[in-house]
């Protein structure tokens, strides 16, 4: 469980209605992250009908003491608004610590199925819209044979 940028509680049930979920771990200071977010926003809208959802995970909103840094949350909200990445963005939480501890660079993107199982590979890079279309289509074919 965790919270989204708007303070709403989110748990694994967020995955249940989608065949595939792209999880994009990003940071407010990451230029490549911010450059790909407009494309991800467009893709989120375009792939909705195909059962694909996009989730952002803002990696730099947790303070060193484990609390959420509200100034960073505000910065993240501004980034989302300015980039048009109008999909759900999650805040780090203790429940996500195991996952986040494996992230060594941003952006990092991976895919999960409706049960939360990872499918496909992990991408530690930003990509163009065309590159993401190719990847999403390949992973979607894996979960929708």
Per run of 10 residues, the mean pLDDT along the chain (length 145 residues) is 95 95 97 98 96 96 89 97 97 81 91 94 96 97 87
Q: What are phi and psi of 5, to 5 degrees?
A: -60, -25
Q: Quick one: angle between helices 31-47 and 129-143, nearest 10?
A: 50
Closest CA to 88 of 17, 16, 22: 22
Strands (DSSP E) found in the chain:
2-3, 9-10, 20-26, 52-58, 88-90, 108-113, 118-123
**What's the pLDDT score for residue 66?**
83
Q: Copy the structure tokens of residue 139.
A: 């992973």
**What's the pLDDT score for residue 5?**
96
Say how far apart CA 68 and CA 120 lie, in whole Å.
31
Q: What angle do CA 54, 35, 134 make, to 5 degrees?
A: 55
**Cβ partners under 8 Å of residue 4, min gap 6:** 10, 88, 89, 90, 91
Say how far apart CA 81 and CA 62 lie, in whole Å.
20
């Amino acid at each position: 469980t965790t919270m989204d940028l708007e303070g709403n509680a989110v748990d694994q049930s967020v995955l249940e209605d989608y065949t595939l979920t792209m999880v994009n771990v990003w940071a407010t200071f990451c230029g490549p992250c911010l450059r790909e977010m407009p494309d991800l926003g467009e893709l989120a809208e375009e792939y909705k009908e195909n059962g694909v959802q996009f989730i952002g995970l803002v990696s730099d909103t947790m303070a060193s003491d484990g609390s959420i840094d509200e100034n960073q949350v505000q910065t993240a909200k501004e980034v989302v608004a300015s980039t048009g990445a109008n999909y759900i963005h999650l805040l780090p939480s203790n429940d996500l610590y195991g996952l986040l501890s494996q992230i060594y660079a941003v952006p990092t993107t991976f895919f999960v199925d409706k049960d939360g199982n990872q499918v496909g590979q992990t991408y530690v890079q930003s990509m163009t819209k065309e590159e993401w279309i190719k990847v999403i289509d390949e992973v979607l074919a894996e979960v929708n044979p």
